[in-house]
Structure 1
């Protein structure tokens, strides 16, 4: 009794201003759930969509304010440590890497939500009216007849975005795991909600869930190993222990590698990539764009922190393995992509190849490399959301002019750029950016990341990356040839929609061109992205 009376319980220190952007997004997700539950049917969808878009814009404004505050503090204090930055009891660290990644995430999410909200002129959206209906059942037919449309996908998207925003800020294995699950669980559901090809969509959701559970298991086991040798779950404190103790190298190496496996799964790196083409193909196309862009930003930002703070301590033992993973990822994404004739699978393998390119920047550990990785991810995210927005509008049409489902066989895209020059031109620009052609954001991203890798002594690996980049251009330009240098087939059209996808495409085109022609302002800002070591 005396011991209990003498015990002093200290309240945790919480920097509430640091959490404002995340609280805006999570609060918006809760509000979207309430609107979905209680708003009148006639205005429910509009209210949820407006909430999602306004929440992402409000979070962007808050992040810009926090960026100015944190970078201003760093400019006045060159010797500042992580302990002196705003944090939540050591679990959540707010530094330029966190804020830069979060700002990219909310901007990508804004574009993705525009595509998710769009419907064709006949009210045909990408999502099932009632995702819980069994495919082909009477309940599904009844939902379609009555035009019933649930809109919980926006609340799920906001919850996932909240997890993504915490992921790069996590300074604790507990926070890292919780953020991983908050990010992933809504995506497992969203992947299974496609309006057409329901069974394929549900299969994609199951595959993503099962393989995602394995990746979470690897991360948990790795965290347990690192806790066992350090006695702490705080990432920065684990780094302190590893830098002063070499008695249990094998245990530390195993723990670091297993945590990295969990992160490599999320970015689709080989040999942990098997889920990517199937899930990208089966998921609703707007969700595929959201996953392909946003999840990579969050996972690579978290990997930057973990690798710089912990894995780099044992880089002499781990770097050969990591570089082998990067090379394998580039080769798998490049050469598997050559034989794809489904545009979504082609873009899936393209994303795997890009993951290999980005890994070189993550592992380079030279000055400014973190900001350059974020720049690459901005350009990739814009082109990815834009490309999948184009895919969502390319539909089949029968002899009576009735619009059908999406056409993903690239051989049926013949002449689409000639009959629809604006859409074809936008897709051309996105493919040029993927290929790294000058005057696009993709070229600048590859240039700065490959330059960092070369400066780090990875010259041979940069040569492999350049070779793979040249080979990937082959299957991009194969699609370009079909778009502009073949005759239109007549059974494929660009569907007229409510216009939200076109807004996303226009913004993506503008961003891709602006970052390719005038990259200096953004690169100057991202040069302030630093990861403070313990």
Structure 2
């Protein structure tokens, strides 16, 4: 017999209104899943186009503030300005990533109807992650993103390289999830709550054995977050995964998830574990230094462009950690600005490989770009803009992103870390400028490279030129990020 006290609460639409963008993407994913049953391989571009339209429509809902801000589902989900900025960026970058996929995957007979569906569900996971108000929602969003990513990386079942990459990604990703979950369980054991606001209130008053338990949980949480970012020394999955996955999949997993990982770090550190800032700030600073040094030094020795970009990702995570370790509203705003900038730069850098590849030729070695300017000056210019932005050359977007996080580290009394960042930025410029040197000063070799045309060329041009345009007008983006943390 059900008593009145046992009656579940009645849910109204108003309570779910802040989830309208997430629900739009979920409904779009299920609709595409059903539609794909009635399409053959030649007409599957329809699902590709509709998936991109779904992401852009959800981005418009976020930008328009549809559903409004609020905390719903007993604190599991919170929508605020921070989450809106990150969601809009995640959806826009995911749409760009998906636009690179069609021609490359169709040419290699790899395009399947489940690819856009998996990307949509992964995007939902990222959206939930940046709006998490509870440790349970953090883990739900993270695993939804991770499970979709594992399947996408291993989508080419006939490729030993892709299968190996998918297996490594799955095993090490599962290990990272286990460490993070264990850390969350210790935090729960010390504070008695899964709610991030409750953890924040309880963490400052915890003492004795419970405080030891809480600090141990903090260490495991930091390690789990570092794994998901690909920070050194927990980066072992990243080079093989980036190298083995089909390049459009690498674009997706190497761009938007960094924004989601930043959102997770913000919710956990500034939200739940803020009273322990002196501890996690030091841990993040050490990880930043290791990532900067290891990522840049190892990238110098790479001849494969995808592996070079993978190790450079480790170094960029180090720069992003500069902002987080700086702490405070300005530090997190700088880190958010860097995450948005890097997501765009990463999509363009791997997009250059997609643009020059063809069936039987991946264009993933640095020597494949030799003499590109002599044959395709416009394409060489776009690649040059991308590499210069990654190197932090003014006035491109990457320069202002590096300045922002270095300033945040200095203001956070981490001068030693800022010095490490400056030295590593100089080291990192070498391997990016090496690609530019190869394009403009080396003689063309081998069969002429033919960049893709049509809509894909327009997508790549938009992506690359955005790095120049936003570099010239970076202030509104930075102000947007600062406004998100102003409250």
TM-score interval, normalised by the smaller of the two chains: over 0.9
Map residues 23-38 of structure 1 onto 2, 5 A cutoff: 23-38=23-38
2:124 counterpart (150, 162, 179): 162
Structure 1 position 48 matched with structure 2 position 9: no
Give the equivalent residue in structure 1 for 2:94: 109
Q: Is the 8 A contact 2:231 2:288 kept in 1?
A: yes
Map residues 465-476 of structure 1 onto 2, 5 A cutoff: 465-476=421-432
1:427 counterpart (363, 370, 383): 383
2:258 counterpart (273, 293, 296): 296
Where do 5+ consecutive residues of structure 1 fail to align?
71-84, 130-148, 397-402
Deviations 1:121-144 (A, max 9, x none): xx614xx44xxxxxxxxxxxxxxx
Structure 1 position 511 matched with structure 2 position 466: yes
Partner Cα separation in structure 2 for residue 501 and residue 351 of structure 1: 24
Deviations 1:278-313 (A, max 9, x none): 000000101111111111110011102211123331
Q: Give the drift of 1:528.
A: 1.2
Structure 1 position 124 matched with structure 2 position 125: no
Cα distance change on mapping 1:368 and 1:391 into 2, 3 Å: same
My pick for the range that moved more, 370-379 or 443-452, is 370-379
3-state SS in 2 of match to 1:523: helix
1:95 counterpart (75, 80, 86): 80
Partner Cα separation in structure 2 for residue 36 and residue 517 of structure 1: 42
My pick for the range that moved more, 484-493 or 207-216, is 484-493
3-state SS in 2 of match to 1:494: coil
Q: Is the 8 A contact 1:115 1:500 kept in 2?
A: no
Structure 1 position 459 matched with structure 2 position 415: yes
Q: Is the 8 A contact 2:356 2:451 kept in 1?
A: yes
TM-score (norm 1): 0.87
Q: Is the 8 A contact 1:35 1:47 kept in 2?
A: no
Q: Is the 8 A contact 1:270 1:329 kept in 2?
A: yes
1:237 counterpart (172, 181, 198): 198
Deviations 1:16-51 (A, max 9, x none): 2210111111111111211112335543x1220121
Q: Give the drift of 1:65.
A: 1.5
Partner Cα separation in structure 1 for residue 156 and residue 376 of structure 2: 26
Q: Is the 8 A contact 1:95 1:530 kept in 2?
A: no
Give the equivalent residue in structure 2 for 1:60: 59
Give the equivalent residue in structure 2 for 1:81: none
Determine which structure has more spread, i.e. the larger CA radius of gyration.
Answer: 1
Q: Is the 8 A contact 1:374 1:526 kept in 2?
A: yes
Deviations 1:26-85 (A, max 9, x none): 111111211112335543x12201211110110111001128955xxxxxxxxxxxxxx3
3-state SS in 2 of match to 1:93: strand
Q: Is the 8 A contact 1:21 1:63 kept in 2?
A: yes
Partner Cα separation in structure 1 for residue 5 and residue 335 of structure 2: 51
Partner Cα separation in structure 1 for residue 150 and residue 269 of structure 2: 27
Q: Is the 8 A contact 1:12 1:89 kept in 2?
A: no
CA RMSD of aligned residues (A): 2.1
Cα distance change on mapping 1:383 and 1:432 into 2, 3 Å: same
Q: Give the drift of 1:420.
A: 1.4
Q: Is the 8 A contact 1:56 1:109 kept in 2?
A: yes
Which structure 1 residue ranges, 4+ long, deviate > 4 Å from structure 2?
5-8, 67-70
3-state SS in 1 of match to 2:255: helix
1:255 counterpart (192, 201, 217): 217
Q: Is the 8 A contact 2:222 2:283 kept in 1?
A: no
My pick for the range that moved more, 382-391 or 199-208, is 382-391
1:270 counterpart (232, 240, 252): 232
1:285 counterpart (233, 247, 272): 247
Give the equivalent residue in structure 2 for 1:486: 442
Partner Cα separation in structure 1 for residue 439 and residue 411 of structure 2: 39
Partner Cα separation in structure 2 for residue 509 and residue 7 of structure 1: 57
Which has a greater percent of helix? 2
Cα distance change on mapping 1:6 and 1:481 into 2, 3 Å: closer
Map residues 11-26 of structure 1 onto 2, 5 A cutoff: 11=10, 15-26=15-26
1:153 counterpart (96, 112, 115): 115
3-state SS in 1 of match to 2:357: strand
TM-score (norm 2): 0.95
1:178 counterpart (131, 135, 140): 140
Q: Give the drift of 1:381.
A: 1.4
Map residues 335-346 of structure 1 onto 2, 5 A cutoff: 335-346=297-308
1:325 counterpart (287, 296, 305): 287
Q: Give the drift of 1:421.
A: 1.3
Partner Cα separation in structure 1 for residue 400 and residue 484 of structure 2: 17
Cα distance change on mapping 1:335 and 1:454 into 2, 3 Å: same
Q: Is the 8 A contact 2:32 2:47 kept in 1?
A: yes
Cα distance change on mapping 1:470 and 1:252 into 2, 3 Å: same
